[in-house]
Chain A
Amino acid sequence: MTDPSTPVAAMPDDALRFEGVRKVYRSGDADIVAVDHASLTVGSGEIVALLGPSGSGKTTLLSIAGGLLSATEGTVVVGGKDITQFGARELTEFRRSSVGFVFQSVNLVPFLTAEENLVVVDEIAGRRGTGPKAARARARQLLDELGLGHRAGNLPAQLSGGERQRVAIGRALFNSPALVLFDEPTAALDTTTGGQVMELIQSELRSRHTAAVIVTHDSRMTHYADRLVRIVDGVLGAGEPIEAGTGTAAEH
């Protein structure tokens, strides 16, 4: 575990590095600055909580990290590669293999089973990799690990909210990315289920030494992270270490 009291220095194996990232949306004649000169480093295996109110730019920042949005200015380095230089094809491959996403809701393919929702990551790329059988075995193993082995053949509609979110976590981890991005992963869940999902996220990330950025507006969720970064009106605050298990740094 990373020592939370010391900011992580820029290392070649950093999972994510933002340098002076700015995102401006044009709305009519006005420019709206969603993210303003954001600099942030997420070390290898580090879990960072990004806390901010609605409209603070945190989802925009997450989308830029995942190659879904391009930054207006600045450099975004993920796993040692500057993704701002990527073309469309490289970005597609990057999203498939280098990052995982977990969104707040409606994110599984409704007509595919839990297991197929994991395998689809390989299939939509038209790349069978090690072959469909191996992919299915890998999906089954991952679902077992997430406590969903018995639900592998169920459709999303037959699963509870917490189970659906666990399938989404499985999909994000399916290609073993070094970085997983979570956008309000517990927003659609009740507090108890949300806590269980966060515990599962934390233990899965730790056991795989996978780094993560978890966007949330719920300060209770931040104590599962190593470090808390606040974002207000597109501006990132200094990182705050989180005291293990208490979440005191996260309280308003």
Chain B
Amino acid sequence: MREQSSTFNAIIGSTLAVVLAVVGLFFSLLTLERTALYGVLKAVGASTGRLFAGIVVQAVVVAVIAFVAGSALAALADAVLPAAVPLQLTTGRFVFTFVALIVAAVLGSAISLRRVTRIDPASAIGSSS
């Protein structure tokens, strides 16, 4: 039993790691995709701090919505799946997942923000010369 349990834990752990990496990458790309937009906002007077605050708020809001949707799906799975399936929802896991999700989202966004802070607005805007 114990061996089975540790195998399951290893699977859950690596799945979670992959999920967090994907989430981080998603937010990183989301920020990168908008480099030109941030360049324009900088040109019309947005400070880097202001842009950063906006990006973090955006990441947290999306992550919270995703967490609520994910939790609902987990609860649904718990209710629908037969009792033989080893699914255990604990408050501790919810809290851990929530914190990890927020951290991944903010970190992912922040990594790209390094590029945003260094934006040369002229090139971000796609000028010709």
Contact: A66 with B43, CB < 8 Å? Answer: yes
Instruction: Say yes or no: is B46 at the interface (Cβ < 8 Å to chain A).
Output: yes
Size of the chain A interface, CB-CB below 8 angstroms? 39
Which residues of chain A in 50-89 are interfacial with respect to chain B, using CB atoms and an 8 Å cutoff? Answer: 52-60, 62-63, 66, 68-69, 88-89
State how many angstroms separate the Cβ of A23 from the closest Cβ of chain B: 11
Instruction: List the B residue with the shortest CB-CB distance to A60.
Output: B122
**Distance between Cα atoms of A133 and B41 in the complex (Å):** 21
Contact: B122 with A69, CB < 8 Å? Answer: yes
Instruction: Say yes or no: is B4 at the interface (Cβ < 8 Å to chain A).
Output: no
Instruction: Say yes or no: is B129 at the interface (Cβ < 8 Å to chain A).
Output: yes
| Contact size range, B | 20 to 34
Instruction: Say yes or no: is B92 at the interface (Cβ < 8 Å to chain A).
Output: no
State how many angstroms separate the Cβ of A76 from the closest Cβ of chain B: 15
- A contact residues around B45 at 8 Å (CB): 92-93, 95-97, 121, 124-125
**Distance between Cα atoms of A96 and B41 in the complex (Å):** 10
Contact: B122 with A104, CB < 8 Å? Answer: no
Instruction: Say yes or no: is A183 at the interface (Cβ < 8 Å to chain B).
Output: yes
Q: A93-B45, A103-B127 are in contact. List 13 more A-B contacts (CB 8 A).
A: A60-B122, A62-B122, A95-B45, A96-B45, A105-B126, A106-B36, A109-B37, A110-B37, A120-B41, A121-B45, A126-B50, A187-B128, A217-B128
Residues of B within 8 A of A (CB): 36-37, 40-48, 50, 120-122, 125-129
Residues of A within 8 A of B (CB): 52-60, 62-63, 66, 68-69, 88-89, 92-93, 95-97, 101, 103-107, 109-110, 120-121, 124-126, 171, 183-184, 187, 217
CB-defined A-B contacts under 8 Å, sample of 30: A56-B129, A58-B129, A60-B129, A63-B121, A63-B122, A68-B121, A68-B122, A88-B48, A89-B47, A92-B47, A93-B45, A96-B44, A96-B45, A97-B45, A103-B43, A103-B127, A104-B125, A104-B127, A106-B36, A107-B125, A109-B37, A120-B41, A121-B44, A121-B45, A124-B41, A124-B45, A125-B50, A126-B50, A171-B44, A184-B128
